Amino acid sequence: MFKNHTEAKSGPDRWLHLISGSAVSRWTSQDGMHRVYLVSRNDGRFSSYSEYFSDHEFEHCWIEEHAAGSFYDSEETAVKEIYGVFPWSKDVKREDHP
């Protein structure tokens, strides 16, 4: 009668996929509950996207936290903005997309 539910793929190896571009780097907070991505947009600019892991009883998944409405002309500018908005990102290793 009821279909079995499979657990969502929300592990640390999952990378963000967007229509407007590709995640090229990410930072994961030390507690593993927050992530922010550096996005290389198809138009040549950069932006950021962040999410948090909800361990609510009926969720157990990554949820959008902040989708930057700002676009940056360079990767360096976008990274500076990420460090400013998410101070914890300065204290963790930057992962580049394989």
**Predicted confidence pLDDT, tens digits, the chain (98 residues):** 444 444 444 555 677 777 788 899 999 999 999 999 999 999 999 999 999 999 888 878 888 887 656 899 999 999 999 999 999 999 999 999 87
pTM of the entire structure?
Answer: 0.78
Q: Are 36 and 86 in contact (CB under 8 A)?
A: yes
| pLDDT value at residue 98 | 75
Chain centre to alpha carbon of residue 44: 19
